[in-house]
Amino acid sequence: MKPINFSLWCGMALLLMGLAGCGSSEQAELQQWMAQQRSAIKPKVDPLPEPSKFSPQAYNQDGAIEPFSIQKLTQALKRDSNQATANVALIAPELARRKEPLEATPLDAITMVGSLIKVGQPVALVRVDNLIYQVRAGNYLGQNYGRVTKVSETGLSLREIVQDAAGEWIERTATLQLLEGTK
């Protein structure tokens, strides 16, 4: 016969002691406590409210436009076109005015090289093709109908009017910063 391992004997002894500890005396106490708790707690259930009465509404199509009719589509297109023309009137380039010389040059080809104050108004000095121009607030720059809104010692700000992908005119701002260290 083979000798039985000591750890196996210890494991079996612990298992038997664990089973002996699960006697019915603790279960009886637990069952008694559960019964006591059930009798002490009375659940309160509110009754469900009466359902509201459904009153069907009659569908009257007299004088109404059918949702998929051409007339409905026409009305929607007119409403959208009225809004678009209102927006165009608010933001649009001034096409009838005479163009200034710096409007023929792209904005990225214009560099600000200095600033000064003339008659109490700030003036920016910009260089295009090795020529220096004086630019004040209100002058136009660049090919996107850019109008100078502010001139400072370090740069100038302008408002451009460009068309977006849908063909609507929108405003955007651009700046030219002073370029230092150039001749």
Stretch 101-112: mean pLDDT? 91
> Could you tell me the end-to-end alpha-carbon distance of the chain, in angstroms, rounded to an integer?
108
**CATH (one of 2.30.30.830, 2.40.50.100, 1.10.760.10, 3.10.150.10) for 71-183:** 2.30.30.830
Provide the b/e sequence for 10-31 (b: ≥16 CB within 10 Å).
Answer: eeeeeeeeeeeeeeeeeeeeee
Instruction: Give the sign of the dihedral formed by CA 87, CA 88, CA 89, CA 92.
Output: positive
Q: How confident is the model at residue 96 (pLDDT cuts 50, 70, 90)?
A: confident
Q: What is the DSSP string of 93-118?
A: ---SSPPPGGGGS-GGG-EEEEEEEE
Residue 17 has pLDDT above 60, yes or no: yes
DSSP for residue 48: P
Residue 64 has pLDDT above 80, yes or no: no
Six token digits for residue 182: 């150039």
Task: Tell me the domain boundaries of the chain.
Answer: 71-183
Pick from 145, 154, 133: nearest CA to 173: 145
This prediction's pTM: 0.50
Q: State residue 156's pLDDT score.
A: 93
Dihedral angle computed from the Cα positions of residues 144, 150, 153 and 154, in that order, rounded to the nearest 10 degrees? -50
Residue 154 has pLDDT above 80, yes or no: yes
Six token digits for residue 130: 């090795």
